[in-house]
Structure 1
Amino acid sequence: MALIKKVRGFIPKIGENCYLAETAVVIGDVVMGDNCSIWYNAVLRGDVNSIRIGNNVNIQDGSVLHTLYEKSTVDIGNNVSVGHNVTIHGAKISDNVLIGIGATVLDHAEIGENSIIAANSLVLTGTKVEPNSVYAGVPAKKVKDIEPEQSREMIHKIANNYAMYASWYKDGESW
Structure 2
Amino acid sequence: MHLDQHKHLNDEELVARIIHEGKTELFELLYKRYFFKVVDKSYSFIKNKSMAEDFANDILAKAYEKLPGFKGNSLFSSWLYAITYNYSIDYLRLKKKLHYPNWNSENEIPDIPDESEADLEEMSYDKLLIILERIHPEEKALLLMKYQDNLPGKAIAQTLRISEDAVKMRLKRARTRVIYLYQSMLEKD
User: RCO greater where, 1 or 2, for CA within 8 Å and sep 6 or more?
Assistant: 2
Q: TM-score range by the shorter chain?
A: under 0.3
Q: When the two structures are superposed, what TM-score results if normalisation uses the length of structure 1?
A: 0.27
The structure with the largest alpha-carbon Rg is 2
Structure ranking higher in helix proportion: 2
